[in-house]
A and B are shown apart, each in its own frame.
Chain A
Amino acid sequence: MAEPATNLSRLRENIPTLLILAALAATPMIALGLGDPFIVKVATRVVVFAIAAVALNFVVGYGGLVSLCHAGFFGIGGYVVGILAWHDFNAEPLWFLPGTSDLAIALPAAILVSAIIATIVGAISLRTSGPYFLMITLAFNQMFYYGAIALQKYGGDDGLQIMSTITLGPLDVSNRYRFFYLALAVLAITLLLVGRFVDSRFGMVLRAASKNETRVIAVGVDPWLYRLAAFVISAVLTAVAGALLAAGQQFISPVDMGWDRSGDLVVMAVLGGVGVVWGPAIGAAAFVVLELVLSSWTTHWQFVFGLLIVLIVVSLRGGLADLGRTIFSRGSEEATHG
């Protein structure tokens, strides 16, 4: 009896996600119509940061763990793609492995490398909580950052230019439009995956532990392993976003993995709304577009930007995601009252 109702509410829950994906999918058409290919470049950046912000929110919003090392994982994903492409271009094996510019190999490699590193970082960081977790993840981020600078062979602090043509299997994805849809597909998968995880028993334990860890333990569940799994999943998805950024702009540099970038990702999540899976995607879009528009108006754009973020966070406690809900619920309230 409750079945149709739950199906309907599930559909309603998915509407924002579908709208976001549809709106993004339409941007190349708009770009073509306006004859402005730069729009696609911006949209790709939006999608890449949306993947990272949605992934980060899995631990921040649902796990209550504010990680400041996600830019590090973002950069690790980017450098895996960049370094493999460098070895491909220079025809020099990486130890005994040949380089590659094929994302069908480079993306799984980025996933594997980030998963291993995230398991170690998570296993250590999750021994702490609260401000200590914040500090220890910040420290790890700086280690990754200076690690990237130390990679003199791969450009050091100048960053690493990808000279070869990036492909996905037999498909050439150096085409701007094709690459955009590849990234969008990854965002769709990310939203689907994180949504599934949040609703599963795994997600329940994660959410419950963020409110009352002792109580979770007392009902027979040790949340540590669940948190570690969430941390690794989140880090891996963020690394995939970084890999896509590197492949899309044919460039990765330590700047992309600074701790301030970790902060940006947290801001995107909070700005969009940490209470819903799709919230950070909106936050990432707002962040990237605002940064672009404001910086073209004034060199002091960061002041205006900060002010706007404060205004949004104070007025909409659930982030931008609340904007739609506020309007929607007010509308239905009027309907029931009238």
Chain B
Amino acid sequence: MIYWQLFYTFFKIGLFGFGGGLAILSLIQMEVEQYGWMTQQEFVDIVAVSQVTPGPIGINCATYVGYTIGGFWGSVLTTSAIVLPSLIIMLSVCKAYFWLNNRFSGNPYFEQTLRMLRFTVIGLIASAALMLMKPTTFIDLISWIIFGAVAFFTILPQVYKNKVTETLSHPILLIVLSGIAGYMIYA
């Protein structure tokens, strides 16, 4: 039963996961919370681990959630389930590639739907961040200082672009520095 739930959930996430890894996070979060598979804190920890390990964030999350809930076979199942819709859809796209290219570029229905989905995806990612802004994640003032500093260094290269700001905006560097800060402050 739990295996069927895992498969069905991650198949759905793969099928509706428009806009790549970050947008998929809000889908995973909602499902995982609804089933009570893990706490919000555990979910944030998984996202943190996913961001500092190689590979697509969606695969990392699927594997981790699958292992936590259903052991080794759980992780095999969730990872396959999130890939399966892509296989079905992208293979159809490949088979119809030339037909699609002539038919869909410039088609107002297709182009406008994609354009509107981009704005929905922005909302999805915003909701993922908002749902994580809870006392379990933000325990004190220092949490907000870390949040502010990381947001500042991530946005900085867009305002003031040079080699130094680009290097400082690297997500892995920022996570490692936050981890060191956490160790020094809380341990």
A, B assembled together = no
- A contact set with B: CB distance below 8 Å: none
